[in-house]
Homo-oligomer: A and B are copies of this chain.
Amino acid sequence: MQSFLPPNRLLMGPGPSVVHPRILDAMARSTIGHLDPAFVGMMDEVKEMLKNAFKTENALTMPVSAPGSAGMETCFVNLVEPGDKVIVCINGVFGLRMKENVTRLGAEAVIVENEWGTAVSPEKLEQALVDNPDAKIVAFVHAETSTGALSDAKTLCQIANQYGCINIVDAVTSLAGSELRVDEWGIDAIYSGSQKCLSAMPGLSPVSFNDRAIEKLTNRKTPVPSWFLDLNLVMGYWGKGAKRAYHHTAPVNTLYGLHESLVMLTEEGIENSWNRHQQNHILLRDGLNKLGIDYLVDEASRLPQLNSVIIPQDQDDLEVRSSLLDNYNIDIGAGLGPLEGKIWRIGLMGHTSRKENIEILLSALKDTL
């Protein structure tokens, strides 16, 4: 059995994105204990920098020790109780996954259906809230990674709050790539991923809960069904002060990587990061247009960091993606679910979002198509 030497891919899919060498270097630093005072100091810095990235003052802001799917589950498992009515807005794969989380917890999911590739409709959400005055929670995806559509999180949260509901927001793909203001927009519970616009490696899911969310958690009538994701326990480890209670063994080196990616984000500035993603998206869009490739999503709801484009009718999905991978080491994403074979998902996330990468891709696409 031999050591594994991965090929050097240009990651232009839905994540992971290209990891900067500074972050890879951080991953290889020597492992220390998860209760070491030096490590606890680093944890505090991660929390502070995540608060900055989320634009929140929430004390409960920290990375869950598992990928984004576990961040989603952290929000639902802590906030939803059996019998709760939860309004789930679905406009892609990750909304469907939210629904799965709700029903597996013995709660009732009321679905607000939206066409895949469009934003969540605020009018439909409001109608669902009128029809279901006993609903307690509204959940939606800010940036739907399966379709490339951005929803208006500010408006959706405002409506949910008007009707007395807690909101849960999926920001896996939006954090650091699209405007996102947790406190200003009244977001109650939010989760993201390390491997998208933060450009760290997969394996961590930053979450943030405000006081309203914590109140819902504190007033539960039933215990949180997951021991591993119970924030009452997790915060004994990630909480305040020098003394941290052992809960689980944190993924030490992956946290080194996230720390470094957040240092780089701090250096750039969060608004500058949003702007860079937008500017590079325009470059890619113009290049794709010249090749005659159209977008799935209307311009107004288009994600800059996840460009879902319609596969030209004369092209074979798998053939083109395999050719890009085998001949150019470029990895772009396939469509998911009903969009499989119909779209490609071109990611410009984090360190991938650079002019030279766009030029390499456009040139390879031109040769391949």
Which residues of A are in contact with B by a Cβ distance under 8 Å?
1-9, 11, 13, 15-16, 18-19, 22, 24-34, 36-39, 42, 45, 49, 65-70, 72-73, 77, 97, 100-101, 103-105, 193, 195, 201-203, 223-228, 246-254, 256-257, 259-260, 262-263, 266-267, 325, 331, 336
Contact = CB atoms under 8 A, between A and B. Distances in A.
A103 to B, nearest CB: 8
B25 A227 contact: no
A249 B16 CA distance: 8
B16 A31 contact: yes
A104 B2 CA distance: 42
A19 B45 contact: no
Contacts of A266: 1
Contacts of A19: 30-31, 253
A70 B228 contact: yes
Contact of A39 (B5, B6, B260): B6
A226 B106 CA distance: 11
**Identical chains bound together, number:** 2
A21 to B, nearest CB: 9
A4 B26 contact: yes
A34 B202 contact: yes
Contacts of A31: 6, 11, 16, 18-19, 24, 195, 201-202
Given A3-B260, A16-B33, A202-B253, 7 more contacts: A2-B263, A3-B263, A4-B42, A9-B36, A16-B249, A67-B251, A97-B227
Contacts of A227: 69, 73, 97, 100-101, 104
22 contacts: A1-B266, A4-B256, A8-B30, A11-B32, A11-B33, A16-B252, A19-B30, A31-B195, A33-B331, A69-B248, A69-B249, A72-B228, A103-B223, A104-B223, A105-B225, A201-B251, A202-B252, A202-B253, A226-B226, A246-B336, A251-B254, A254-B254
